[in-house]
Amino acid sequence: MEKVGIGVVGLRFGRVIVKSLLESEAARFFDVKFICDLDRNLAEQVSRSYGNLPVARDLDTALSDPSVGAVALMTPPAGRAALIRKIVASDRHVMTTKPFERSADEAERALEEARTRGVAVHLNSPSIRSTPHERQIREWADQYDLGRVIGCRADLWAYKPHPADGSWYDDRDACPVAPVYRIGIYLLNEMIDLLGEPESVTVLHSRILTGRPTPDNGQVGVRFANGALGNVFASFCVADGQDHRHAMTLNFERGTVYANVAAADTPDPEAVTDLRLFRDSSRRWRPETLRILTPSRDSYDWEAFYNAVHGSDIADDGYRNRILSGIRVVEAMARAEKSGCVEKVR
């Protein structure tokens, strides 16, 4: 298998991606050709940690190397579309990270340019392929004729009592309803995939224990065009040993699916999503129940990205629309954070 030469740009979180590209399954597909960060000291430090990886002075220099076929772009979301457009204009493929970009218009432009040039732009959330647990939920809905989706409550928390540091995490415009934007975004994107076209958004938030000026506790409510109601709660204030566990309750007309609801009782909770389906058995308080553990996978789908680089399944309009739909909800969420009102998704 011919590996694709890849560079990693943005090395704070990006150093995790460097490690993954060198040491995980992804190493079968990619060969790290350079790393790059505006902070030269950070780049040198990451380089030394991994056997003196080549450090590129900047993105332009890196893109002049013909052995580079793709870029893993791990810079902050605001302004990321402009960098994507630069990479796409050099006919390189892009893997990036959540949240895709703060501005839906900028994101749309970048995705349109990628489509025109036949270049792949993928990210981890929404990922190009739905997760095994999402596929299982859809299978149950068909198999048991669960009917229309009615509502969804999703939550996710971590303990991050960090002080302010002047980064984008402290900026309300760059990081609206911070816990939802930073970690709840996975569940928000998944909820949009499962519930359909988002229509309007409300927000509640507070700041309980972190030193940052942005909220550390937040929830966003979404009304969907089909009448379904969704809610995502995310917090940086809970230290219970379950950081980043994605939990979701999903009601259909004739059944309810619980994903990771209640404390984990499996030996390796990070490796699986614990799905339970409850549906009517015609006996009061005795629903039929089914339980399946679906495998969790790295949210960066390196294999699908590799295939896209080789020309198959670059990304259809459906994927682009899923990405844009999530950003439009975030834009409405940012307006609702400021106005305190219900805001339409534009």
Ligand X SMILES: NC(=O)c1ccc[n+]([C@@H]2O[C@H](COP(=O)([O-])OP(=O)(O)OC[C@H]3O[C@@H](n4cnc5c(N)ncnc54)[C@H](O)[C@@H]3O)[C@@H](O)[C@H]2O)c1
Q: Which residue has the tokens 């489509």?
A: 115
Q: Which of 45, 49, 143, 167 binds ligand X (CB under 6 A)?
A: 167
Query: Please, what is the Cα angle at 127 between 121 and 129, to 5 degrees?
Result: 105
Question: Helices 132-143 and 185-195 sit at what angle, rounded to 10 degrees?
Answer: 30
Q: Under 8 Å CB-to-CB from 105, ≥6 apart: which residues?
A: none
97 vs 219, beta carbon nearer ligand X: 97
Residue 97 contacts ligand X per CB under 6 A: yes
Of 23, 25, 39, 270, the one binding ligand X (CB under 6 A) is 39
Give residue 147's region: left, alpha or beta (phi > 0; psi -120 to 50): left
Q: Which residue has the tokens 């040198």?
A: 44
Q: Which is nearer to ligand X, 76 or 221 (CB)?
A: 76
Q: Does 330 bind ligand X (CB under 6 A)?
A: no
Is 20 among the residues that bind ligand X (CB under 6 A)? no
Name which position in 25, 28, 38, 341 contacts ligand X (CB under 6 A). Answer: 38
Task: Verify binding: residue 189, ligand X, rule CB under 6 A.
Answer: no
3-state SS of 200-245 is EEEEEEECCCCECCCCCEEEEEEEECCCCEEEEEEECECCCCCCCC
Q: Quick check: 13 binds ligand X (CB under 6 A)? A: yes
| Contact pick of 4, 6, 11, 261 for ligand X (by CB under 6 A) | 11
Report how far residue 109's alpha carbon sits from residue 101's, in angstroms, rounded to the nearest whole number: 11
Q: In the set 34, 168, 305, 319, which binds ligand X (CB under 6 A)?
A: 168
Q: How far is the CB of 290 from ligand X (least distance, A)?
A: 30
**Residue 9 in the binding site for ligand X (CB under 6 A):** yes
How far, in Å, CA of 191 to CA of 319, rounded? 15
Least CB distance to ligand X at residue 247 (A): 17
Q: What is the DSSP letter of 99?
A: S
Look at the block and give the residue holding tokens 């506790």.
217
Closest CA to 182 of 216, 152, 213: 216
If the CB atoms of residues 10 and 326 are measured against ligand X, the closer one turns out to be: 10
Site size toward ligand X, by CB under 6 A: 22
- Measured in residues, the chain has a length of 346
Residue 98 contacts ligand X per CB under 6 A:
yes
Instruction: Enumerate residues 239-258 that contact ligand X by CB under 6 A.
Output: none
CB of 204 to ligand X, least distance (A): 22
Q: Applying CB under 6 A, which of residues 21, 53, 55, 124 lies at the interface with ligand X?
A: 124
Q: Which of residues 50-79 bind ligand X (CB under 6 A)?
A: 59, 74-77
Which residues contribute to the site for ligand X (CB under 6 A)?
9-13, 36-39, 42, 59, 74-77, 83, 97-98, 124, 167-168, 182
